[in-house]
Each structure stands twice: as C-alpha cells, then as structure tokens.
Structure 1
C-alpha cells in the first residue's frame, strides 16, 4: 500500500504549526515583566493613590536622602555640562528579527524587547542593556507625562528601561546596587497625523485591555521612535516612579517630544483597564497613571551641551532665583562686619 503523502504533508504541517504555537506560548510565559501589585493605584482620592504609597511601600517616601522621581525640569537646578559626551544608542537602529511582547501589566502598557540593544555615554557610569518601555498618560481632559518641562505636562510620556547585566528585573537590579537602572524618558505630544512607527504599538493596545493580557507585535528600529535630535537632554539621579519607588535610577529626559495622533492617544485612554480586589471583575479604565512630581532637594539637573536652559520656566524658579540673589547680597553685606 502506497503511503498517503498528501495526508502526511498535512499532518507534518500541523505539527510544525502546533510547535510554533507552543514556542510562542512559551515565549510569552517567559516574559520578565510581571503584572504590578494591586496594592497601589493612581486615583488620588483612594487608599491606594500616590499620596498613600509610603504607608505600604517604605521607599516611596520623598526626603533628602531618598531622592524620588519624577521631577519638574526646573532651570534653577540646571547646570550645563559642555564636556559631557553624546548618548550611545547601540543597535537602536537595528531591526530585531524576533517579535516583541506587548503586555498590560495593570498600571501601564509595556513592550518587552529582545536582547541586543544597549545604552551608554553621556554621564552614565556604565553600559546598560535595553529591557522594555512603558507609557504614562492622562485622560480626555488632562495630560499625563510624569516629568514637567517649561511649565507643561505633556499628554503622554514614553519611558525606556535599561538594566545593568546580569539583572533581569527592575527590583532585583535596584535593590542590589545603585545606578543599576537607566531610563530614557520621551515626551509624547499630539500632532495632526498618525505616527506610522507608533501605530504598531497603538493598534495593539485595544487587544490587551485587561491586566495580564499580552500578544506579539512586529519589531521596528527603536531609534525611529525617538526624537530626531537626541543630543538635547537632561540627566539626573532619581527613583522608579512606581512602587517600590527604589532610588537607583539614572534618568535621561529628552528635550524634544515625539508626536502621535489623537486617535492613537485615544486607544490608551479608552481601552485599557485595571482591577482592584474589592471591585471583583468589574473593569475600570486606567487613566492619569502618572506619579505627581517630587522635590529635587539638592539634586542638579545636568543639561547636555545642546539642550536649552530656559531663564525661568515657573514661578517657583523665579522665586528661588530672587531668594538666591537676596541671600548672596545679604552674605556680602554681613561678611565685612564679621571680619
């Protein structure tokens, strides 16, 4: 009896397809980005909101020693460093061959990258591998960037997280050593047209509405999603902006924003949900998922050679500058009398 080659081919094809499905499922379950704790939220009026985080998470206390993020990019605290080298975005222009994972992790949408991209240069103490990116947004009527620049909170902020090898989670790295995490922060503004690069992410968002939902997306050169001019940025030392709020983070915030359309933004504010234990299975839209700005204390914002340093960007800057002038004048008057 001759073998049924057609049936054998179909069986073989199904076996290959099944293997690919299993491989993809395995890859998804191997994601290093966990769904965030239900013990915190961003609602300022609920027990789990940002002003109550320190009651549950001790490192979320903002004080002189535990410098927290995000911050206002206040020119009174800026110092230009003309000798600082450029950022090094190694393999950011390379199209990775394997798909990325996009995941609803309850407090944001995260995109996990494959190995191969690295960050260095500027004032960074070492080289970091590129781990994943996440987003913070507002609502229909409010903006939602975490950092504030020139008195403005942008509609959205994109943050790209980097770790020092061999760490594989943010908390593991930040708990173990200082400066083990580096974050690139990109302001996202609303423009008249779709951003064709961002569309890959935006289109996938409505398909992962609930915490834990995830899927594959096609990769793209990550450099295509950054501002055109990456030489303009501000660098400072701070913390993670979500619990555990660990303060082991080197922040680099780009001056120039990128642009997406209103339609692309609406997919974030209209289709992403999270759960709280007492709410059962009733979903609630994830809105305004940003932490309020924290005090700078004595920290300095290092401005790159090409970055703008505004004269004044807030009334706080003006008051602080006037106080500094008055204090200097007072000291100069008192010194002759003291000698």
Structure 2
C-alpha cells in the first residue's frame, strides 16, 4: 500500500513537471502579452523589435559597412529548410561570418516574419517586426549569428549580453520576382506543416541582402521570440529589398503552424511581435538620415514667425533717428534645440 502511494505520488509530480515543461516551451503570437509569465526576459527593458524614429537617431561616423564573409559562395552541402511552427527557417554553415564588429560572429540560421493580405499601405496587414517612423513593411528577414570569439555555440551565447548579432532586412513588394528569394520560396510546399524539413540546394546568400550594407540602424535589443534574451546587437538595414506580390502571397499562405497529424490546419500568418518601448536606448545610424536635417511643419511655422518679427523690427529700426540706431543692438539667443554629442551604443 505504501509503495503504491509512493508510486502514485511520484507519478503525480512527474506529470506536473511535464505539464510545466510543456507550458514553458509552448507559446503563440496570439498570447504575446503573456510571454513574460513563462519567459521573464520578455518583460525586460531592452526588448525588440522597436520603431526606428529617424528624427531621434544619432549619427555615428565610426560605424563601418557590414562585412559578410563566405555568404556569396554556395556551400558544399545543401541548406536545410524547416517549418518550426512559428516561422520558416534555413540553416547556415559555420563558414558564414560577420566582421567589422568587436568580435567575430558566426552565422547560424535565417528566418522570416510576415503578416497577411499585404496591400502595400504599410498598415497592420504588413508583417515586418521593425518599423521605421511607424511604418510597417511587408515582411522581414533575420540572419542570426553568435559570438564565436567568446562562446562555443549559439546555445551558450544566446543568453549572454554580448552573445548574438542579427541582421534585419525589411522587405517590400513589387511587380518582379526576386530570384534570390525564390531559392527559398519555391520549396515552401515541402514544409507545409510544423516539424517538416527539406534539403534545398545552396545558393549565394549575399543576394538576399540589400546592395548597400553601409547604411543601417544599430541598437542593443533582444530576441523577438521567447525566451526573448536581451543579447542581440541589432543591425537593421536602411535599404529594403523587394519581392513580387506573388512571392509574398506564397509566403503568407503556404505554411501551417500545426503538424500534419492535427485534424484542423492553422495558417502560419502574422508571426511578428509588436514594437517594444525604447526605454532610453540610443539608436545609432551609420549615415545621416534625411529627417535629421529636415524641418518639421511646427519648426517651419516658428521660423516663418521669427522672420516676420525680424522684418517688423528692421522696419521699426529704420524709422528711428541715427542716434537711436547707434544705441540699438540686436541680440539672438542660442539655438535651444542644438543637439548634444551622441552617446555610444554598448557593443
């Protein structure tokens, strides 16, 4: 009897532990507000993605163009394309690396985020994670690397403050097919369901990136999916890439988030996290964005009013006699909106 009770008790704790494990490993984009309950880092203050507000960027002339090593050479082995229930992911060989950062970063994988029924308006139907001045793009590509100078693998690196570097590529739509992205999209039919994977021929991965790797935004952030570790040095390129509307439609409709055995299929769509508060973080730009030197309507109106005031003052000034003119001096206040020296982003 005692042994029976002991066995029952052990079974209870085992099942309870299994339930807790499943709860911690399972998440969806519909319960984003609940992520932090199972994954505490998701409630951190340095979360990603963010809205890149170009008028608030700090230009850092020391930021050099991103250097990708090995990307342009097709690998000796096929890439593995998989559906993990949250996104479509493609493995990358260890010979793909990033240089120009404080450490050497080795590529691990790339994946996509998208929405549904994109109409090009930049609204909620778009699926990019990062936004620029509040505008969402059609989709987004992330290329994930880990700090191979300091850590043996991505599993160890991902939870370390300086562990990861991710390239973000914003995707828009046009009329013409993008042949580089078709190297991936044409195989989506083989990974329709979660847990499926297929080998695909290797190709020039550099062709997935923008032409200009010298114009980008950089900030410290996190993984955009659980466990949301705040370990990512983000590089989001200013130049966007374009795929055809047909290609995007294929990405939006080809995949399901459930396994093939499930009786009900759930389309894999809207797999993007909403933008997170910046919380005093500094976002650097490797170039001078137009909006930094562009005047807002309010500033233009204020400048126009100042001009009118000055014209009136000059007219009044000319009406005074010469003695009064000699005693009169115009004084101008310093520009109250003069920018301070930009702080540096911690690598």
Q: Does residue 68 of structure 1 match 2:47? A: yes
How big is the shift at 1:38?
5.8
- Give 1:54-65 correspondences, 5 Å limit: 54-63=36-45
CA distance in 1, matches of 2:89, 2:107: 13
> What SS is found at the alignment partner of 1:51?
helix
Q: Is residue 133 from structure 1 mapped to residue 110 from structure 2 by the alignment?
A: yes
Partner residue in 1 for 2:95: 116
SS in 1 for 2:184: helix
Partner of 1:85: 64
- Paired residue total: 270
Going from structure 1 to structure 2, the CA distance change for 1:190 and 1:115 (only over 3 Å counts) comes to same
* 1:157-176 aligned within 5 A: 157-165=140-148, 166-169=151-154, 171-175=155-159
Query: What residue in structure 2 maps to residue 234 of structure 1?
Result: 217
Q: Which runs of 5+ in 1 are unaligned?
A: 1-35, 44-48, 323-327, 331-339
- Asked whether the equivalents of residues 62 and 295 of structure 1 are also in contact (C-alpha less than 8 Å), the reply is no
Between the aligned partners of 2:187 and 2:221, the Cα distance in structure 1 is 31
Q: Which of 128, 136, 140 is the matching residue for 1:145?
A: 128
Task: Report the Cα distance in structure 2 between the residues aligned to 1:228 and 1:139, rounded to whole angstroms.
Answer: 27
In structure 2, the partner of 1:51 is: 33
Please tell me whether the aligned partners of residues 107 and 144 of structure 2 are also in contact (alpha carbons under 8 angstroms): yes
Whole-Å Cα distance in 1 between the matches of residues 284 and 152 of structure 2? 27
* Other-structure match for 1:257: 240
Contact 2:65 2:215 in 1 (8 A): no
Question: Structure 1 pair 184/37, CA: closer, same or farther in 2 (3 Å)?
Answer: farther
- 1:75–1:312 Cα contact (<8 Å) kept: no
Match of 2:280 in 1: 298
SS in 1 for 2:225: coil
1:113–1:131: 8 Å Cα contact kept in structure 2? yes
- Cα 1:198–1:207, aligned 2, differ >3 Å: closer, same or farther? same
- Larger displacement relative to structure 2 (240-249 or 81-90): 81-90
Aligned position for 2:289 = 308
TM-score by length of 2: 0.72
CA displacement at 1:274 relative to structure 2 = 1.0
Is contact 1:77-1:299 (8 Å) kept?
no
Instruction: State the secondary structure of the residue aligned to 1:272.
Output: coil
Which residue pairs with 2:75 in the alignment? 96
Output the CA distance in 2 between the equivalents of 1:132 and 1:139.
24
Considering only aligned residues, what root-mean-square deviation do their CA atoms show, in Å? 2.6
Cα drift, residue 54 of structure 1: 1.0
After superposition, the C-alpha distances for 1:191-242 in whole angstroms (9 at most, x for unaligned) are 1011111111001112101111000111111111111111110110000000
User: Given the alignment, which residue of 247, 270, 293 partners 1:288?
Assistant: 270
User: Could you tell me the TM-score, scaled by structure 1's length?
Assistant: 0.74
Q: Given that residues 128 and 136 in structure 2 are in contact (C-alpha distance below 8 angstroms), is that contact kept between their aligned partners in structure 1?
A: yes
2:54 and 2:132 in contact (8 A); partners too? no
Question: Would you say the 8 A contact 2:64–2:214 is kept in 1?
Answer: no
User: Which of 216, 220, 229 is equivalent to 2:203?
Assistant: 220
Q: 1:163 to 1:223 in 2, by over 3 A?
A: same
Name the residue aligned to 1:41: 28
Distance apart, 1:97 and its partner CA: 1.9
